[in-house]
Chains A and B, each alone.
Chain A
Amino acid sequence: MKKYIWHVIILLVAAVFAVFASIDFLAMHHDEPIADNPNLTEIRWLSDYSEGLAGTDLDTPIYVFDSGVPGGTFLVLGGTHPNESAGPVAAIALIENIEVTEGRVMIIPWTNRSGFSHTSPLDGMQDFFSIELDDGSTRTFRVGNRLSNPVDQWPDRTYYEGSSGRKLVGTESAEIRNINRMYFGNEKGVLTERACYGIYNLIKTENVDITMDMHEGSPEFLYLDCTMVNKHSDNSLAMSIASYMCLSMEFDDLTMRAEYSGVNSYGLSHRSLGDNTESMMTLMETYNPSMGPLHGKMDDDLIINGNEPNYYQAHLDGYVYFDVPEDGYPLVNRVARHILTIAYLAEGFSEYVPERCISFDTNLGTYEDMVEMGLGGILKSIN
Chain B
Amino acid sequence: MDLELICLLAMLGVFLVSNMVIKLPVSLSMMFGAIAGALVGGQGIPLRHLFEGTFTYVDTMLIISTAMLFMTVVQKSGALEALNAAIVTRFYKIPALMLVLLMFVIMFPGMITGSSTAAVLSAGALVAPVLLMIGIPREKAGAIIAIGAIMGMAAPPINIPAMLIGGGVDMPYIGFDGPLFLLTIPCAVFTVLFLGLKYCKNLDIEKLKSQLNTEIGKEYGFKLYLPIIVLIVLLVVSKALPSFPQLGTCLIFLISSFVGLFTGRKFNFLKESADAMETTIPVLAKLMGVGMFIQVLTLVGARGWIVVSCLGLGMVFVYIATFTIMPAFGAVSSYGAASVIGVPFLLVMIQNTSCNDIVVAAVLAFTCCLGDLMPPTALAGNYAAQIVELKYKPVLKNCIIPFLFCIAVAVVCILNTNALSFLTV
* Chain A residues engaging chain B, CB cutoff 8 angstroms: 17-18, 20-21, 24-25, 119, 121-124, 127, 155, 157-161, 167, 170-172, 220-222, 264, 292-298, 310, 313-314, 317-320
Interface membership of B148, Cβ < 8 A: no
Are A298 and B56 closer than 8 Å at their CB atoms? no
Total count of chain B residues near the partner, CB < 8 A = 56
The interface residues of chain B lying within 8 Å CB-to-CB of A294 are: 303-304, 307-308, 344
- Complex formed: what's the CA distance from A24 to B47 in Å? 9
Chain A: minimal CB distance from B299 (Å): 3
- Complex formed: what's the CA distance from A296 to B5 in Å? 11
- Complex formed: what's the CA distance from A20 to B50 in Å? 12
Are B52 and A160 closer than 8 Å at their CB atoms? no
Contact among B42, B49, B163, B307 for A293, CB-based, below 8 A: B307
| Binary flags per residue of B262-302, CB closer than 8 Å to A gives 1, else 0 | 00000000000000000000000000000100111111110
The interface-forming segment of B99-107, B242-250, B411-419 is B242-250
Are A170 and B52 closer than 8 Å at their CB atoms? no
| Binary flags per residue of B316-351, CB closer than 8 Å to A gives 1, else 0 | 000000000000000000001001100110011001
- Complex formed: what's the CA distance from A314 to B347 in Å? 11
Are A122 and B336 closer than 8 Å at their CB atoms? yes
The interface residues of chain A lying within 8 Å CB-to-CB of B301 are: 295-298, 310
Are A121 and B52 closer than 8 Å at their CB atoms? yes
Contact among A121, A158, A310 for B304, CB-based, below 8 A: A310
Instruction: In the A-B complex, list the 3 residue pairs whose CB atoms are closest, starting with the nearest.
Output: A124-B299, A124-B298, A296-B301
The interface residues of chain B lying within 8 Å CB-to-CB of A171 are: 160, 163-164, 167
The interface residues of chain A lying within 8 Å CB-to-CB of B344 are: 220, 293-294, 314, 319
The verdict on A298 contacting B303 (CB below 8 Å), with A170-B158, A171-B164 known, is: no
Are B298 and A123 closer than 8 Å at their CB atoms? yes
The verdict on A293 contacting B160 (CB below 8 Å), with A123-B298, A127-B48, A310-B308 known, is: no
Chain A: minimal CB distance from B377 (Å): 14
Chain B: minimal CB distance from A28 (Å): 9
Mark out the residues of chain B between 146 and 174 whose CB falls within 8 Å of any chain A CB in the assembled complex: 158, 160, 163-164, 167-170, 172-173
The interface residues of chain A lying within 8 Å CB-to-CB of B199 are: none
The verdict on A295 contacting B238 (CB below 8 Å), with A157-B248, A170-B158, A170-B163 known, is: no
The interface residues of chain B lying within 8 Å CB-to-CB of A20 are: 47
Query: Chain B: which residue is nearest A18 at the CB level?
Result: B51
Beyond A295-B304, A314-B344, 10 extra complex contacts between A and B, CB < 8 Å: A24-B47, A121-B55, A122-B294, A155-B59, A293-B339, A297-B41, A310-B304, A317-B308, A317-B311, A319-B311
Are A310 and B239 closer than 8 Å at their CB atoms? no
Determine which residue in A21, A123, A158, A318 has the highest number of CB atoms from chain B within 10 A of its CB, and name it. A158
The interface residues of chain B lying within 8 Å CB-to-CB of A160 are: 246
The interface residues of chain A lying within 8 Å CB-to-CB of B55 are: 121
Contact among A123, A127, A296, A298 for B305, CB-based, below 8 A: A296
| Binary flags per residue of B174-187, CB closer than 8 Å to A gives 1, else 0 | 00000000000000
Are B308 and A313 closer than 8 Å at their CB atoms? yes
Query: Chain B: which residue is nearest A158 at the CB level?
Result: B246
Determine which residue in A160, A171, A319 has the highest number of CB atoms from chain B within 10 A of its CB, and name it. A171
The interface residues of chain B lying within 8 Å CB-to-CB of A24 are: 47-48
- Complex formed: what's the CA distance from A281 to B41 in Å? 43
The verdict on A155 contacting B296 (CB below 8 Å), with A127-B48, A167-B242, A314-B344 known, is: no
Are A318 and B352 closer than 8 Å at their CB atoms? yes
Chain A: minimal CB distance from B236 (Å): 12
Contact among B52, B169, B311, B336 for A220, CB-based, below 8 A: B169
Contact among B47, B296, B348, B352 for A124, CB-based, below 8 A: B296
Are B56 and A297 closer than 8 Å at their CB atoms? no
- Complex formed: what's the CA distance from A313 to B312 in Å? 8
Are B294 and A21 closer than 8 Å at their CB atoms? no
The interface residues of chain A lying within 8 Å CB-to-CB of B170 are: 221-222
Are A293 and B239 closer than 8 Å at their CB atoms? no
Are A159 and B242 closer than 8 Å at their CB atoms? yes
Chain B: minimal CB distance from A47 (Å): 27
Query: Chain B: which residue is nearest A262 at the CB level?
Result: B170
Are A124 and B49 closer than 8 Å at their CB atoms? yes
Interface membership of B114, Cβ < 8 A: yes
Chain A: minimal CB distance from B154 (Å): 14
- Complex formed: what's the CA distance from A24 to B348 in Å? 39
Chain A: minimal CB distance from B89 (Å): 36
The interface residues of chain A lying within 8 Å CB-to-CB of B308 are: 294, 310, 313-314, 317
Contact among B3, B49, B299, B312 for A317, CB-based, below 8 A: B312
The interface residues of chain A lying within 8 Å CB-to-CB of B81 are: none
Contact among A119, A157, A222, A296 for B246, CB-based, below 8 A: A157
The verdict on A158 contacting B249 (CB below 8 Å), with A20-B47, A170-B160, A310-B305 known, is: yes
